[in-house]
Each structure stands twice: as structure tokens, then as C-alpha cells.
Structure 1
């Protein structure tokens, strides 16, 4: 599945254009749209900025071309996967193609896969064009579920499961580098096993404990104003991206002055970090409450997942999407990824304990925890993908398919 197939790959113009895109994709993945400039991309291939403008007139031309190339590859992978006869076969082939692609990038045999998390940071008309291309990809992946024996799965739930599946592909790029590329086929098999078989043992029921949302969001006195500020900022960043969530817009949403913003935070990067800190603290609070309740580890884990899904759609939510990571300077980003990994590690411990006691089936705890983390984070956008979904329905619509199997009723 070459991105440089046919006679065009021998053309000098196309070869140079592809080299620029290769270099720019690495910058885009590392620093986001905000950090991608024509000058930096030019330096990556030994050209002057003026030379790069021969291929891409503006920065957004270059960023959009990187993203569109990635979407085109995923479209081709989805086309190939849809040739398989059954939904599980299609999922297995899509995972195989994607991890093979990431493996080639990791070993230098192919260009990096662009992160699609920063589409919102593009200006129009580029943002609209890339978003439209992504929506076409989304609909194609959703057709993975098309089969007579899947007719029971309604459109809304099918859409939710597609959102969850794509999030697994995108987030895998963040945690796969801890493994050797030669292990990717084994990881593919474990991801597939988790997606199809879920976490639950045979006969287990989906009966999470009620979520104490007010307790999860509780803040006293002096912290309530800061919480309100961070929640407004989180909502804007999730909706419009780092670039679109300006200090003016955050202040206007709260009807406060810009001075109030700088009273809380020295710079916008500090605000993003504070929003991530809030996110991880809520997740840790949920984990602590779940671990303290009665019952086996399956009950505790499913209750934690359900609580976080409800929280995302509640008046207290959402939590900050991991897509905001690309906007942070590298040192800050690494620190927040470390926080995320600690949350995943605690989920992994709960899964390991469940496997030991027999309430969770034997799965890879580390991989399962990353996949759970990705699902819970992606739930922040469930209302966009499934308009009208209620807070109470969110756990069964979005968390249950991962925990009990994506093809399970």
C-alpha cells in the first residue's frame, strides 16, 4: 500500500514534494500545527523557505497536505479491510495494515503517519476540506459493521463504536514506541483479542455502580472559581483546538477580563497544563473511589469506566482531550504523557488483580489499560458523534463495547 506508487513517484517534483511532506509530518507530530512552519520544514530537507513555497504556498497548505496524505492512506487501508467477509475479519485486517504501517515508520522503512488530532488548528478553508475528508473516512470505517448478523446494532451505537475503534488506531501511535517494532504483530493480536473478546469473563454482567459525580467534581471555597475557569477552557480547547481557544474567547465565555486569566496563569501553555492536571486528578479520584468499593475487580473497573463516561457528558465535564498534547512544548508534553501513563498503569494493576482472581479474562494488562484510557478520553466527544446521547446512556453506548466486546450486543 504505497503512498508513492505509479509513475509519478519517479518525477522529480513529486519526489521532492514527498520529501517535504515526510519532514513536515515529523514536525507536525512533534509540535502540532502551531509549531509547523515552512522554514522549519525547509530545514528538514535542506531547502530554503523560498524553495518550499514552490510546493506549498502557505503553512496551512503544508499542514493540510500532511493530514490529507494520512487520511488517504487510512482510506486505502479501510478499502482493503472491507474486502474481508466478516466484521471481525475486517477489523483484524485493518489493525494489521495500520500496525504494519506504524512498524515501517518506526524502522525508517516508510514515512511517519501524521497525527490527525490537530485538524481543528487549521484555518479555513483547509480545516473544512480536511474535516470533510475525515468524515468520509469515518463513514467508510463504520461500514466495517455492515453484516446481516449485525443488523441489531443501530446507527448511533455503530457510530459510537467506530469512534472508539478509530481512537484505538490513533492513540496506539503514542504508546507503541515503548515496544520493539518486531513485536507489533503480537501487539496486533492482543489488541484484536481485547476488542473482540472484551475484558469480561464469560457470563459476567454489565452492572456498574452508580457514579457519584458531585463527589468527583467537589471543590471547596477558593477552588470553585478556578475549577469554573478550567472547565470553560477545557470545553473551548476540545471544541476549537489550542489555537482556536484564545484568551479572549475563554475570558468572554466566563464574562471576565483578560487580567483575570493572567491572574490564574502566566501563559496559555500553563493553562493547558492546568487543564490536564484537572483531568488526571479526576481520573485518579475515580480510580480511588472504585478501588475502595466492595466487589470484584471487574465490578470496580467497569464502575470506574462508567463513572468517567458519565462525567464526560455531565455538567462537570468534559475532561481535556489528549489532542491538546500536540500544542505543548516538548518538555511539558512529556510530563503530561507521564501523568497519563500513571493513570493507565493503575488501570493495568486493577486488570492484573482481576485476572488473578478470575473476574477478568486473561488479556494483556498494559495494552488493555492504554486502550481503556483512550476510550475514556474519547468519550468527551461522544455527544458530537451521537447527538442526543444522554449522560446515563454513555457508559453502555461507549465503554461497554470495549469492556465486553465490540461485536457483542
Structure 2
């Protein structure tokens, strides 16, 4: 049963023509809500804004969806249905490579149609976690079904280790297509086919040259702390807990009350360190990008060549994400920020990607890394380690070194090379 079946009960007794009109208007409401959720997040979207976008008043919108949460759930449900259809279409291809290529190309085609005003985008699914359990749980089950079908694009798993690797590949591939609209806007539509080919080249063959072996340097927790500038212990505690709650439950879930309750302190102590909740989210992002920069420069300083530097940075970032104690802030939280603060976060993200681009260019020149498009590859690196926190349960079932190696292999070896399974710890 649909998670919004209750909201659809209104037209059950009307005539077919009226029912068709109801469905058209309902779709228009969903279209408008999708655009607003992608811009402002589910929390920042109001029924009043949706009503204005479709030329209705708020009371009229509640005829289609009685509550804002029901509307958000319907938006996510429709996007999951569309995403699942894309997976099923791709599954008809003969080989794993062809299936992945077909799946990725559908997202390029969708972006083309969206830009031309011929289709609606998929909703960002990250805010599903902000919904109440009765709406969130069915959507999470639907996403799990989509995920399993994406995993089967790579074929059947042979044993538990191979299943773990295919799980990492499915997660990475989904993050690639979810992150695609963020950076694809930098390219002209006429370049999309070329960009898709270069993206597919990285997905198929990875970043490593044929003779390179996974052997990154390790940066422990204490070593990372030693590399970072000193921070007030009280503020550090707030940022650590807030980042984890934002990643797990979204902006709404990371309430000031929940943060101070977990730390067993007063609300006054929160506002002693931070002015407001928006300031908290911004500081979480600033601290995350500072930690990434420190890891990048540590890897640059210690590495023998660009392959060593890149793999050491990736391993350190994945270790940070899989530990779960103080992860990096998920970029999906950016929707919670006002536009003027959002720009700063985007600029910091771009600078981080540029550093990876420099590593890729230098590595290609010296021969330690494959010659790939550095702009595209750097965005794949960003999306892969940023989303790794969501796989911490998967990682906890494996030795940490194995989890890091298998997940990193999606980048360094590509999505179809099983060499990471044969590497000894």
C-alpha cells in the first residue's frame, strides 16, 4: 500500500473526468514540491510555497495532501518509483558493464530533459530520514528494494566477501547518480555524451594503473588530532555530536535539545559556544572541510608519489567515516542553510575537489595514476567518501582494513575488478 494512501482517498467517489482532473492537479502539486524540496529540503518546504507555485491556496493543497509530511512522503515515493524503473530498464542489458552504462546514461538523459523543461528531476532522497517513522519506514523498505536491484546489475554474488564488494559497488554507483546534478550543470548539454563516456571510463577502469597495489599509509585518530589546530573542548563536543545527529536524522533530528541531552549539559552552554542552529550546521561544515584539508596535506607531505598520496588520503577519510564517532558532515545537510551560508559551503567543497584534481593531474603526468578527466574523477572521490558514513553498519561487519580496501576499490580499481578480494591483510 502507498505511504500516502490516506491522502488519496478524497477523489474515490468522484466521476472519472473529475478524477482525471484531480490526478493532474495532484501531479502538479508533486512537481512543485519536488522542486522546493530539492532547493530547501523537506524541512524548509511549506504548504504555502507549494500552493503559490501551482496557483492554489493552502486549503486547496490540503485537499490533495492533508499534511506537509504526507506531501513530502508522496514526493519521495514517486521518485523512488521512477528510480526503480530506471534500474529495471538497465537490468535488461546483457553484461554488468552494459547495465551500469545504461543506468548512468538514463540519469544524463534525465538531466537533459530537466534542463530543457521536458521532465521533472528526482527528489533528493536524503530527507527521507527526517520523516516520522510511520512515513519513513515504508520508504526505507522501498529504497532497500531499489538498492538490492542495483546490486544485481553487477551479477550474482559468489560468497559473503563478494557480496560485501557488490554492496560497496551498488552504494557507490547510487551516490554517483545522486551527486550527478550537483556538478553536471558546469557542462553544456552538447558535452553530456562526452562527459558520460569519461565517467564510464572511470567507473569501468578506476584510477589505478595496472601495476599499482593498494598499500596506503595510515593516519590514526590521535595523529589526526595532532595535525589539526587546537579547538575548545566544549565546542568540539557539540560539533562532534551535532555532525553525527545531522548525518543520521537530518537537520530536524539534530535539535539543540537532543544535542544537550546527549552531552548532559544545559542549553545555555550550547548558546555559549554557538549563536544559533544555522551557525551550528555551518560550523560542522567548516570543521569537516578543515579536517579533509588536513588529511590531504598530510598525505601530500608523507606520500612517495601521487598514487601513494591519493590512496592514503582516501583510506584516512574512509576510516574517519566508518568509525562513526565524529564523521564528516554529509553534504545533504546543505539544504538546511540559508542561501548566503550555502554558498560558502559550496565554495569549500569546490576547493576540496580542486585539491584532488591537482593530485590526479600530477599522478597522470608521472604515470602513477591513470589519465582521467580530473574534474569528473574528483567529484566521484567527493561523493564516494562523503556517503561512506551511510555504510558504517556494513563496515562494522568487516575488519576495518577490509572495509576500507573494498570500498576504496570502487574508485581505484573500478566497479568490475575483483583484485581487492585477493589482497592479503
Q: Which TM-score bucket, shorter chain as reference?
A: over 0.9
Q: Deviations over 1:78-106 (max 9, x none)?
A: 00111111111110000011111122112
The partner residue of 1:214 within 222, 225, 229 is 222
The partner residue of 1:187 within 187, 195, 204 is 195
Instruction: Indicate whether 1:204 and 2:204 are aligned.
Output: no
Runs of 4+ residues over 4 Å off in structure 1: 150-153, 219-222
Instruction: Indicate whether 1:94 and 2:103 are aligned.
Output: yes
User: Contact 1:160–1:386 at 8 Å: present in 2 too?
Assistant: no
In 2: Cα distance, 1:153 partner to 1:145 partner: 14
Instruction: Indicate whether 1:308 and 2:317 are aligned.
Output: yes
What residue in structure 2 maps to residue 136 of structure 1? 145
What residue in structure 2 maps to residue 67 of structure 1? 76
Deviation at 1:147, TM superposition (A): 4.5
Deviation at 1:181, TM superposition (A): 2.3
User: Contact 2:207–2:372 at 8 Å: present in 1 too?
Assistant: yes
What residue in structure 2 maps to residue 161 of structure 1? 169
Deviation at 1:190, TM superposition (A): 1.3
The partner residue of 2:242 within 233, 256, 259 is 233
Instruction: Give the SS at the match of 2:232.
Output: helix
The partner residue of 2:155 within 114, 132, 146 is 146
What residue in structure 1 maps to residue 421 of structure 2? none
The partner residue of 1:19 within 19, 25, 28 is 28
Deviation at 1:380, TM superposition (A): 1.4
Deviation at 1:357, TM superposition (A): 1.1
**Mapping 1:102-121, distance limit 5 Å:** 102-121=111-130
User: Contact 2:324–2:389 at 8 Å: present in 1 too?
Assistant: no
In 1: Cα distance, 2:290 partner to 2:199 partner: 27
In 1: Cα distance, 2:391 partner to 2:89 partner: 27
In 1: Cα distance, 2:133 partner to 2:178 partner: 24
Instruction: Give the SS at the match of 1:94.
Output: helix
User: Contact 1:87–1:145 at 8 Å: present in 2 too?
Assistant: yes
Deviation at 1:317, TM superposition (A): 2.8
What residue in structure 1 maps to residue 422 of structure 2? none
Q: Which moved more, 1:103-112 or 1:277-286?
A: 103-112
Deviation at 1:331, TM superposition (A): 1.9
In 2: Cα distance, 1:122 partner to 1:330 partner: 23
RMSD: 2.0
**Mapping 1:164-179, distance limit 5 Å:** 164-179=172-187
Q: Which moved more, 1:249-258 or 1:123-132?
A: 123-132
In 2: Cα distance, 1:36 partner to 1:20 partner: 12
User: Contact 1:107–1:181 at 8 Å: present in 2 too?
Assistant: no
Deviation at 1:152, TM superposition (A): 8.4
* Alignment CA distance shift 1:320-1:297 (3 Å): same
User: Contact 2:247–2:329 at 8 Å: present in 1 too?
Assistant: yes
Instruction: Indicate whether 1:351 and 2:360 are aligned.
Output: yes
**Mapping 1:290-329, distance limit 5 Å:** 290-314=299-323, 317-329=326-338
Instruction: Indicate whether 1:280 and 2:289 are aligned.
Output: yes
Q: Name structure 2 gaps, 5 residues minimum.
A: 1-15, 419-425
What residue in structure 1 maps to residue 401 of structure 2? 392
* Alignment CA distance shift 1:222-1:363 (3 Å): closer
User: Contact 2:151–2:170 at 8 Å: present in 1 too?
Assistant: yes
Q: Which moved more, 1:380-389 or 1:331-340?
A: 380-389
In 1: Cα distance, 2:190 partner to 2:394 partner: 35
Q: Deviations over 1:184-223 (max 9, x none)?
A: 2222111111111000111211111122432223367652
The partner residue of 2:254 within 245, 251, 261 is 245
Deviation at 1:294, TM superposition (A): 3.7
Q: Name structure 1 gaps, 5 residues minimum.
A: 1-6
Instruction: Indicate whether 1:360 and 2:406 are aligned.
Output: no
* Alignment CA distance shift 1:45-1:222 (3 Å): closer
* Alignment CA distance shift 1:232-1:152 (3 Å): closer
Instruction: Give the SS at the match of 2:125.
Output: coil
